[in-house]
């Protein structure tokens, strides 16, 4: 369950996180936001510095023809683009699989099936990613598709588990109040349950995104491209700069994606839920 | 906009069995609730109050039996449609934390497709109705409100779409006693304006007495031990279970149901501080009680003055007599009046009107007499009521017997 981080759902709820214990609720909403915005600016600055430093170092490092070959013809740009595509597409599929599945598993009739399904998803994640990928390549052949399926299987669990946890954590009296005032089942889900579960679901999505950036480096083994290609050629050709370039780009991408996701968490989190 | 008045509710042989439990949680309840009536379900914990109430809006589906609202059998209709016509307020308000006060209140009107303008007006109207300033509270989130304010918004939400029926499950159970008292007063005021049919669940008998037009005292499995007016239940409990629930001091509780205005407020010799001393002396000597009530310049009760007081104070009004401790208004309950009389060693309490002006006094004797009269009246009422019920029952039995010969298939 390493990928699940329900504790990340409500960072502001941690006691004493911002030093001062519990400011009065009325004043809390805005200042809490402002502090987080400032924190958010740190990450892109750090990324810029990291990329700049790498670029300078890379220019200074003497490249031989083998190394130059690895990065010729816009290869770096191509691999980066492939990597982004892998991440985005796989995350998209993770979302449209895991969130509806999570919703279904919390409906009254399917609730008993939840443990079994989560167990299956757990197996998906517990399998070593590279073994999973190998199996998929044998089954589906070489290419981006096998890689995508592998990444998706690997990342379904955190989103699924968080969706289920988020929906389960809702006070049942609220759901009953919603039904009691005349909301249909769909209305209760759309107006009450999903908005209240958004923080946890988004935390799961954030985990999945970062996970996907990491797993996408393995796509190379199945011929799926991505930054893994740079890293691997750096290793096989024993060219340090190429290896470092691939790794730094992967790390930077993961950090960037995580940053974007935290931005989304901040914007999409329903107002009125900010803990005091 | 004119608010719709209440609807009648009939429960017919209403029964609920929860799965896995052979004994029913609610066993064959029959009840007629009149339009515009506030009925309180009261009873010990676990007796099935909530279950009975939730069957009315079908949050809990009855195992058998029927519910009629305004004569229409609602047992089979679409529950969502049914619930939009029944307001629902619960303990701890049940407000949605991610919606503002205005969004919470406007939920049902929005779902039923009211035009935007009218919804906005309605939100303000409702906040006004429950005593919250719309400008200040509309945009707040529930967690920015106190418990009592949340409860008010909960009531406003329940009333927003102007439903004829309102269900309230211990709505004031989670607030402090003083706030609860305020909220109860507000509910009484609201009900005077709106005349909804309200079913109110509580396990606090004093709350039941204060609010109910009629009280249904429920025992285990929601069996109705007694269904009657507060007066009748206090003075004539049907059995030991009810008297146990009424608790000690039924006669004292009865005092809560009558106001000073309903008993004799009598005149008393008065004088004002501006009167010449000689006039005051004369009144003291002429009066039968040897006592006058001294009023201040604004006609407010100030001091009790006995014969001899002035003498002892050597003619100084400022030093003579004893200060008036307490006064009551005509709206005060007899209980408050009695308390004031007991505390004041004069054995009477001044009654005041607008701006605290003197209007008369209530004394111990009047109180005693009125209470005795009230209790006697209640007793007679209860006896008469009992007769009426027995006659009705006899009639019903007769009709049923005739019914079996006429339409046997109905019973099958
Ligand atoms: N969902 C349920 N499943 C099984 N039994 C239930 C369920 N809900 C209530 N009961 C049982 O039905 C009985 C009546 O419960 P109910 O909630 O109506 O009581 P109540 O009078 O409202 O009590 P309280 O004053 O404590 O709220 C209880 O014995 C309870 O254990
Ligand atoms: Mg209850």
Domain harbouring B107, CATH code: 3.40.50.300
In a domain, residue B22? The reply is: yes
Q: What is residue A271's predicted lDDT score, i.e. its pLDDT?
A: 83
The order of strands in the sheet holding B38-42 is: B86-90, B165-169, B197-202, B38-42, B214-218, B224-228
B345 vs B352, higher pLDDT = B352
Does the residue B332 lie in any domain? no
Q: Which residues of A touch B (CB under 8 A)?
A: 25-26, 173-174, 176-184, 187, 191-192, 195-196, 270-273, 276
pLDDT, residue B311, reads 78
Give the H or E element holding residue B191. Answer: helix B177-194
For residues B259 and B302, the model is more confident at B302
* Contact between B256 and B359 (Cβ < 8 Å): no
**Domain-located, residue B176:** yes
Q: Are residues B242 and B381 in the same domain?
A: no
Q: Which pLDDT does position B374 carry in this prediction?
A: 77
Of the partner residues B81, B82, B141, the one whose CB lies closest to the CB of residue A271:
B141
Q: Which residue has better confidence, B45 or A222?
A: B45
Residue A199 CB contacts under 8 Å (≥ 6 apart), including other chains: A9, A10, A166, A265, A269, A273
* B52 in any annotated domain: yes
Confidence of residue B269 (pLDDT cuts 50, 70, 90): confident
A196:B94 CB<8 A? no
Q: List, as one string, the DSSP characters of chain A.
A: -TT--GGGG-GGGSTTTTSS----HHHHHHHHHHHHHHHHHHHHHHHHHHHHHHHHHHHHSPP-HHHHHHH-TTHHHHHHHHHHHHHHHHHHHHHHHHHHHHHHHHSTTTGGGHHHHHHHHHHHHHS-HHHHHHHHHHHH-SSHHHHHHHHHHHHHHHHHHHHHHHHHTS-HHHHHHHHHTT--HHHIIIIIIHHHHHHHHHHHHHHHHHHHHHHGGGGGGGT--STHHHHHHHHHTT-HHHHHHHHHHHHHHHHHHHHHHHHHHHHHSPTT-S--
pLDDT of residue A27: 34
What does the pLDDT look like over A13-63, one tens digit per residue?
A: 333 333 333 333 333 334 444 446 667 788 888 889 998 988 888 777 777
Nearest residue to B376 (alpha-carbon basis) of B227, B208, B236, B214: B236
pLDDT tens figures, B233-252:
887 888 888 888 777 666 67
The structure tokens listed for B259 are 């106001």
From A93's Cα to the closest Cα of chain B, the distance in A is: 28
Total domains in the fold of chain B? 2
Q: Give B377's pLDDT tier (boundaries 50, 70, 90).
A: confident
The pLDDT of residue B144 is above 50: yes
Partner residue facing A176 (CB), from B59, B143, B167: B59
Cβ–ligand 1 contact at B209 (below 6 Å): no
CATH code for the structural domain at A81-273: 1.10.3720.10
Taking CB atoms and an 8 Å cutoff, what residues of chain A touch B57? 180
Q: Residues A236-269: pLDDT tens digits?
A: 888 888 888 889 999 999 999 999 988 888 888 8
The more confident residue out of B195 and B178 is B195
Domain end among B247, B272, B290: B247
For all residues of chain A together, what is the average pLDDT?
80
User: How far is residue A222's CA from residue A149's CA, in Å, rounded to a whole number?
Assistant: 11
B363 assigned to some structural domain = no
DSSP for residue B92:
T
Domain end among B217, B247, B277: B247
Last residue of a domain, one of B247, B274, B292: B247
Residue B389 covered by a domain: yes
Contact A272/B108, CB-based, under 8 Å? no
Number of A–B residue contacts, CB under 8 Å = 68
Contact B107 A174 (CB under 8 A): no
* Ligand 1 atom 29 nearest Cα: B46
Domain holding B386, by residue range, is 376-411
Does the residue B4 lie in any domain?
Answer: no
The pLDDT of residue B404 is 56
Asked whether the beta carbons of B107 and B157 are under 8 A apart, the reply is yes
Residues B72 and B219 in one domain: yes
């Amino acid at each position: 369950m390493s990928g699940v981080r329900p504790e990340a759902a409500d960072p502001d709820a941690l006691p004493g996180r911002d030093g001062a214990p519990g400011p009065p609720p009325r004043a809390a909403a805005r200042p809490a936001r402002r502090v987080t915005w400032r924190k958010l600016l740190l990450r892109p600055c750090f990324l810029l510095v990291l990329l700049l430093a790498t670029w300078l170092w890379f220019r200074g490092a003497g490249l031989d023809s083998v190394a130059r070959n690895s990065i010729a013809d816009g290869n770096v740009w191509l691999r980066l683009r492939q990597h982004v595509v892998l991440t985005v597409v796989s995350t998209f599929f993770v979302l449209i699989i895991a969130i509806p599945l999570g919703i279904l598993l919390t409906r009254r009739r399917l609730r008993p099936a939840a443990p079994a399904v989560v167990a299956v998803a757990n197996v998906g994640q517990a399998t070593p990613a590279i073994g999973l990928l190998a199996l998929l390549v044998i089954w589906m052949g070489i290419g981006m598709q096998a890689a995508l399926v592998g990444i998706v299987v690997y990342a379904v669990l955190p989103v699924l588990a968080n969706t289920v946890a988020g929906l389960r954590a809702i006070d049942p009296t609220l759901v009953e109040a919603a039904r009691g005032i005349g909301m249909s089942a769909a209305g209760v889900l759309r107006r009450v349950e999903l908005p209240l579960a958004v923080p946890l679901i988004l935390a799961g999505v954030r985990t999945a995104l970062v996970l996907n950036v990491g797993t996408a480096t393995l796509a190379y083994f199945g011929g799926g491209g991505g930054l893994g290609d740079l890293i691997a050629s750096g290793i096989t050709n024993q060219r340090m700069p190429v290896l470092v370039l691939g790794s730094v780009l992967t790390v930077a991408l993961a950090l960037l994606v995580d940053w974007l996701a935290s931005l989304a968490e901040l914007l999409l989190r329903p107002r009125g839920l900010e803990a005091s | 906009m004119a608010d719709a008045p209440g609807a009648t509710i009939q429960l017919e042989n209403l029964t609920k069995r929860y799965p896995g439990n052979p004994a029913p949680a609610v066993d064959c309840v029959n009840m007629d609730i009149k339009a515009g009536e506030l009925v309180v379900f009261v009873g010990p914990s676990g007796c099935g109050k909530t279950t009975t109430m939730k069957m009315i809006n079908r949050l809990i589906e009855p195992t058998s039996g029927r519910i009629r609202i305004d004569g229409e059998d609602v047992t089979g209709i679409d529950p969502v449609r049914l619930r939009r016509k029944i307001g629902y307020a619960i303990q701890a308000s049940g407000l949605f934390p991610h919606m503002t006060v205005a969004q919470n209140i406007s939920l049902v009107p929005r779902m039923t497709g009211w035009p935007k303008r009218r919804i906005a007006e309605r939100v303000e109207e409702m906040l006004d109705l429950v005593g919250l300033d719309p400008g200040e509270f509309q945009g707040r989130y529930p967690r920015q409100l106190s418990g009592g304010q949340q409860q008010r918004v909960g009531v406003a939400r329940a009333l927003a779409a102007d439903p004829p029926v309102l269900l309230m499950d211990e709505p004031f159970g989670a607030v402090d006693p003083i706030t609860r008292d305020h909220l109860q007063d507000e509910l009484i005021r609201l009900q005077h304006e709106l005349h909804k049919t309200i079913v109110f669940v509580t396990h606090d008998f004093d709350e039941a007495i204060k609010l109910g037009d009629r009280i249904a005292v429920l025992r285990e499995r929601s069996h109705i031990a007694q269904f009657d007016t507060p007066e009748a239940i206090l003075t004539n409990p049907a059995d030991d279970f009810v008297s146990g629930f009424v608790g000690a001091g039924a006669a004292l509780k009865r005092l809560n149901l009558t106001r000073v205005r309903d008993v004799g407020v009598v005149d008393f010799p008065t004088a004002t501080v501006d009167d010449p001393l000689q006039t005051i002396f004369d009144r003291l000597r002429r009066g039968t009680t040897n006592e006058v009530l001294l009023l201040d310049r604004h006609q407010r009760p100030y001091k009790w003055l006995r014969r001899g007081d002035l003498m002892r104070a050597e003619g100084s009004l400022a030093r003579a007599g004893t200060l008036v401790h307490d006064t009551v208004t005509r709206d005060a309950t007899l209980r408050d009046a009695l308390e004031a009389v007991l505390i004041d060693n004069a054995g009477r309490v001044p009654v005041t009107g607008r701006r605290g002006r003197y209007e008369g006094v209530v004394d111990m004797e009047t109180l005693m007499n009125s209470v005795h009269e009230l209790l006697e009246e209640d007793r007679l009422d209860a006896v008469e009521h009992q007769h009426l019920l027995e006659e009705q029952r006899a009639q019903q039995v007769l009709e049923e017997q005739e019914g079996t010969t006429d339409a046997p298939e109905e019973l099958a």
